Amino acid sequence: MAKTLYLHIGTYKTGTTSVQEYFFSHTDFFAEHGIAYPIPPYRYVQKNGTKKPWSRNACFISWPVWDEEGNRDLALENQQFHDCMDQLHDLFRTYDTVVLSDEALCKRMYEIKGTLERVAQDSKENDYTLKLIIYLRRQDQFIESRWNQAIKVTLEHRMTIEDYIDYYSDYLDYYELLDYYASVVGDENIIVRRYTDAARTGILQDFLQIIGMDPSGIPEENPVTNTGLYGNTVRLKTLINQVQSLTNAEQKFFGRSLLLCSDVSKQYYPCSEFSEEERREFMSRYEGKNALLADRFIGDGVPLFSDDYSGPPKREDMNPELINDVVRSAAAADLLLYRENLELSQRVRKLEKQVASLERRMDHIRHPLNAVASKIKRQISR
């Protein structure tokens, strides 16, 4: 049968983590159904030390490799790429379908020309078909969610959402992205899905249908969600990120504490980063290209995205609920510290009991030994 490599390239904030974690947790199940989700022999690490999860198994295609001094190691990078491609070739001897996934590929393959071409060339030389799977989220919703994620988890991102729009400006022209990918692999090998449509039935279920598998018979799903910060909590995290000398571990602590009160903040102060008028103006930049994309790559006669721009009002930095969220976030941080201290105290008490028990056992052992030693001393003294 024909061999196919499905390369799931994102985009960001379209349920990629859920798909990756499910495949990673059920590799044996998928193998039984003729689908390989390889676990790479190398784990990729960003320059700041953040480790990419094993479930993102396509990192080897585009991520740099750093040596101990923080310099890019091109030789090792190239070696690891070829090792992972050799693993892919070995899998095709057994399986007809292989799935690789990394949401960063959508942006990186466009920015770093030659990345996709290298995989496409390998597919020709080794007689398998390369297909790209990409989920698209309306540009305003994508940038808002992606900026929120960056503020939540990454210290380096202290940009305003306006700065972030400029940072992602090229990436937001989805038609240009897909036009470039198509020039490498062909229109027929690009599978485009609307994120909102797929999310209604489930991203995983939609993904399985793409690769030719019936989703009704899969093991029970334990969805992995990538929760955002809502209400005032994203604003508070933006301010926390500005604290000097804050480490990544410390900012993660504050991120976890804010997540504890994020839903409450959303309940009392639902808001967004755009007003309805700003959304409409922002999306007007992409209307023409989005229409071309829908016609060329989907072809169902339906607009690529909804033109309903209503929603929560734009967040105001100084709003009536802000002080309440400051109190909640402080309480949440104290709660996390309390729970950690309680856990440590319980572990210490458990260890103390184990030490005391060990000492009692040693006393039982020492008692007969002391008696023998005393008897030997008495014999010697005679």
pLDDT (tens digit per residue) in 258-287: 999 999 999 999 999 999 999 999 999 999
Q: pLDDT value at position 46?
A: 76
Q: How confident is the model at residue 216 (pLDDT cuts 50, 70, 90)?
A: confident
Q: pLDDT value at position 295?
A: 98
Measured N-to-C along each axis, helices 233-240 and 139-153 cross at an angle, to the nearest 10 degrees, of: 50
On the question of pLDDT at 338 being above 60, the answer is yes
Range of 88-92, 198-202, 365-369 with top mean pLDDT: 88-92
Q: Which two tokens stand for residue 330?
A: 């402080």
Q: Which two tokens stand for residue 343?
A: 């856990």
Segment 41-69 shows an average pLDDT of 86
Contacts 24+ apart (CB under 8 A), 296-301: 296/175, 296/178, 296/187, 297/178, 297/182, 297/187, 297/190, 297/192, 298/192, 298/194
CB 42 within 8 A of CB 80: yes
Domain ranges of the chain: 4-226+286-298
3-class SS of residue 353: helix
CA distances from 11 to 62, 101, 143, 245 (A): 15, 11, 11, 32
% of the chain beyond a pLDDT of 90: 71
Contacts 24+ apart (CB under 8 A), 206-209: 207/8, 207/19, 207/133
Q: How confident is the model at residue 85 (pLDDT cuts 50, 70, 90)?
A: very high
State pLDDT tens for residues 116-169: 999 999 999 999 999 999 999 999 999 999 999 888 887 666 778 888 898 888
CA distances from 175 to 106, 110, 181, 320, 357 (A): 12, 12, 10, 42, 69
Q: How far apart are CA 231 and CA 315, in angstroms?
A: 8
Segment 367-375 shows an average pLDDT of 64
On the question of pLDDT at 89 being above 70, the answer is yes
Q: pLDDT value at position 44?
A: 82
Q: pLDDT value at position 66?
A: 85
CB 109 within 8 A of CB 115: yes
CB 133 within 8 A of CB 220: no
On the question of pLDDT at 39 being above 70, the answer is yes
CA 308 to chain CA centroid, nearest Å: 28
Fold of the domain built from segment(s) 4-226+286-298: Rossmann fold (3.40.50)
Q: pLDDT value at position 248?
A: 81
Cβ neighbors of 25 (< 8 A, separation 6 or more) are 222
CB 251 within 8 A of CB 241: yes
Q: How confident is the model at residue 377 (pLDDT cuts 50, 70, 90)?
A: low
